[in-house]
Amino acid sequence: MRAFPFAILLVAPLAAQSPPRTVPFTVGMVITHSVKIRPGHYAAPAGDSAALTVRGSDIAVDLTGVELIGTPDRERPDRFTGTAIRIDGGRNVLVKGVHAHGYKVGIVARHTTRLALLDNDLSYNWKPQLYSGIEKESLIDWLDYHQNDKDEWLRYGAGIYLADVTIGDLKGNTVVQGMNGLLMVRSTGVRTWNNTFSYNSGLGIGMYRSSRNIIMHNRVDWNVRGYSHEFYNRGQDSAGLLMYEQSCNNVVAYNSVTHSGDGLFLWAGQYTMDTGKDGANDNLFYGNDFSYAPTNGMEATFSRNAFVKNRIEESWHGLWGGYSFESVVLGNHFAHNVEAIAIEHGQDDRIVGNTFDGDTTAIHLWWNRIEPSDWGYPKHRDTRSRDYVILGNTFRGNRRALRLDNTQRARVDGNVFVKVDSVTRLTGDTTGWSFTPSPAPASTSISARYQVAPMAGGMDAILPDGARRGRATIIVDEWGPYDWKGPKLWPAGRDDALPLKLRVLGPPGRWRVVGRDGVASLSADSGRVGDTVVIAPVAGREHDFVLALEYRGAAVVTPFGEPVAAGRPVRFEWRRFVSMAAWHVKFVAYDSLRTPRTDAIAITRALQGAPLATLDTNRLDLTWYGPPQKTIPQANVLTEATANLTLTPGRYVIRTISDDAIKVYVDDKLVLDDWTPGESHVKEAVFQATGVHRMRVEHLQLDGWYELRVDVEPVWH
């Protein structure tokens, strides 16, 4: 294990100068010398540019008391555009105190040396609408951060985006309720501390080819999507901290990184996958809390790293370390995970001095004889599972302490087992291992090379005792993770159960009913936050009803960032509208040579052929990788779905999610045409309804995942 870079150059203070003059803000202004912007609330649409640009060196921009609003309609964050502040090169640049909301990106800095970003609030910026439901997720919500050499990550927006920044100080910044907090690309020597990057629907912090940085004392909690408690826990590649593509020699310490899709998601990069060389190596993760991840508290693959004195509770895997090598897992606390440590194809890893409390399986090590044929990595490296040291750990209340499959040469010494159902399970080619239990754990002191002292002035970011915690507190709606700052109705179980039980969530206060439509009876008309309200809908309105409540109590921040003073009324509601119909679905084989995709008449004629399979459903929402019926091929399938849909007069939106292509006809008129193949994507069209309408859907599946979803909803606004 190589030495870790504890001494990193920090931003030097700007040279002493006269107090900067105060100037008014104007949209599109370019700042080339130190100034203070006159406090105020400014409508500052950025379009394709930036509302404010900083260009030059030795510049301090004081924006204390300044709020920049990019888009006034805060309730559609997926439509935000532009950048609030652009820092364009330079040396010794400081920006502090701004509040910027309603943009695609809050602050972007490129090719800047010695950058300081202090006490900025870049919350409530761009994020996409999510389409996963309570009982079932949608493929469209999955993320892909694998490439960013051409700023591909910017399609996901960010509170702060650093590209090619050398030496920086980020302190006291806040990014909540966007998609990404801080993204660092090819940046080095940046100290990120005392920030809050929480309740975002993508990443708290993301790093790409960024090395020798310090990340300490930050709150990075509830950065999550793809989770529905007791229904699915996929995470959809959201994470508290993403460290990608040859990001090396970083120190990550004393951060709270809880309740996120993955707490830590570290991946070596495509270069390593193709060549077997290098990795995201020699990072030190010390004293962090990575608990309550729907997927992995820590995931670190194809790399060499050290994990020391971290806490990982109630996750699927505490540490997933696939193909990790020469890594150190030292003095961590694992508790109540399904598998605390899971490493496939690992080599020369050291698992020393950890505690495992109540994990189903504490340590699982294995080798799969068949590896993906399109990976270059196993073609260039020995990938057997081998040469572990498991020393001085304490196992308490585990169903199984050690599971070793096809693992060679493991030294298991000086460990303590207390109330463990099964100490070992060995299968396959598991040879050359030694096992020596101990009445007391072996001495496993942490050497100085792995120790990190707290920073002077660093805040205690770890969730305090008694704070809200646990995966049951993760609630993800159509705009991302719920932050508990305002009232909310949320089902206690399925959202299609009847009668429907809704929990009243939020800060302390009282509620009362102020509106209902399609509701036959309620269990109560008023009460306190924490109650459960039981709704029985009117017969025939089971899929079309509304309940509206009014909250009074503590101060509230709405889901889109609007503050409401304590005692003021806040309206919130549960609205259910599902376009149920008797859909008849048939599947036919598709031959691209005989039936060109662009020939609509040929497609219609092909759909009139003999079906391979049929099914009937009351909701058109089909997703699979393996077809549900053997007669449906994996690839090259045409689908036709027909139904008669009864709608009250008004304007409606048809929303489709499809992989690969789709068309929708209403009364034989084409109203939605999305016939260009692609991965799962959304398309919408509006039409006027007058009663009963014949719906016909054409769908083309080429290969891979199959997704066909059609929703019809009233135009609410």
Residue 629 confidence (pLDDT) above 60: yes
Distance from C-alpha of 291 to C-alpha of 221, rounded to nearest angstrom: 10
Distance from C-alpha of 705 to C-alpha of 397, rounded to nearest angstrom: 40
Which string of DSSP letters, residue by residue, matches 243-265? EESS--S-EEES-B--SSSEEEE
For the chain, helix, strand, coil in percent to 5 are 5, 45, 50
Residue with tokens 């910044």: 173
Residue 212 confidence (pLDDT) above 60: yes
Cβ-proximal residues to 690 (8 Å cutoff; 6+ apart), any chain: 647, 649
Model confidence band, residue 313 (pLDDT cutoffs 50, 70, 90) = very high
Q: Report the DSSP beta bridge partners of residue 365.
A: 343, 404
Distance from C-alpha of 399 to C-alpha of 360, rounded to nearest angstrom: 5
| Averaged pLDDT, 513-518 | 97
Cβ-proximal residues to 361 (8 Å cutoff; 6+ apart), any chain: 338, 339, 340, 342, 398, 399, 400, 401, 403
- Work out whether strand 400-405 and strand 35-37 pair parallel, antiparallel, or are unpaired: unpaired
Q: How far is CA 225 from CA 201, 262, 310, 480, in A?
A: 6, 10, 23, 6
Distance from C-alpha of 515 to C-alpha of 548, rounded to nearest angstrom: 5
Task: Give the model's pLDDT for residue 47.
Answer: 77
CA 21 from chain center: how many Å? 42
Q: What is the mean pLDDT of the chain?
A: 94
Task: Give the model's pLDDT for residue 156.
Answer: 96
Where b means 16+ CB within 10 Å and e means fewer, 101-132 reads: bbbbbbbbbbebbbbbbbbbbbbbbbbbbbbb
- Please, what is the end-to-end C-alpha distance for the chain in angstroms? 59
Is 3.40.50.1100 the CATH classification of the domain at 583-714? no
Question: Rounded to 5 degrees, what are φ and ψ at 434?
Answer: -125, 150
- Domain parsing of the chain, residue ranges: 333-445, 484-577, 583-714
Task: Give the model's pLDDT for residue 7.
Answer: 40
- List, for residues 94-116, the tens digit of each pLDDT value: 999 999 999 999 999 999 999 99
Residue 442 confidence (pLDDT) above 90: no
- List, for residues 596-612, the tens digit of each pLDDT value: 888 888 898 899 989 99
Cβ-proximal residues to 240 (8 Å cutoff; 6+ apart), any chain: 203, 204, 205, 220, 221, 223, 257, 258, 260, 261, 262, 263, 264, 290, 293
Task: Give the model's pLDDT for residue 15.
Answer: 44
Residue 449 confidence (pLDDT) above 80: yes
Model confidence band, residue 12 (pLDDT cutoffs 50, 70, 90) = very low
Contact 226, 294 (CB under 8 A): yes
Contact 182, 202 (CB under 8 A): no
Model confidence band, residue 717 (pLDDT cutoffs 50, 70, 90) = low
Contact 380, 404 (CB under 8 A): no
Cβ-proximal residues to 677 (8 Å cutoff; 6+ apart), any chain: 597, 660, 661, 700, 702
| Averaged pLDDT, 276-283 | 96
Question: Rounded to 5 degrees, what are φ and ψ at 455?
Answer: -75, 145
Model confidence band, residue 19 (pLDDT cutoffs 50, 70, 90) = low
Q: How far is CA 294 from CA 206, 220, 225, 318, 561, in A?
A: 18, 15, 9, 10, 26
The SS3 of residue 1 is coil
Distance from C-alpha of 422 to C-alpha of 417, rounded to nearest angstrom: 10
Q: How far is CA 273 from CA 12, 324, 378, in A?
A: 38, 13, 9
Task: Give the model's pLDDT for residue 18.
Answer: 56
- Candidates 501, 478, 479, 474; CA nearest to 490 is 501
% the chain with pLDDT above 70: 97
Q: How far is CA 334 from CA 172, 467, 589, in A?
A: 30, 19, 51
- List, for residues 150-185, the tens digit of each pLDDT value: 999 999 999 999 999 999 999 999 999 999 999 999
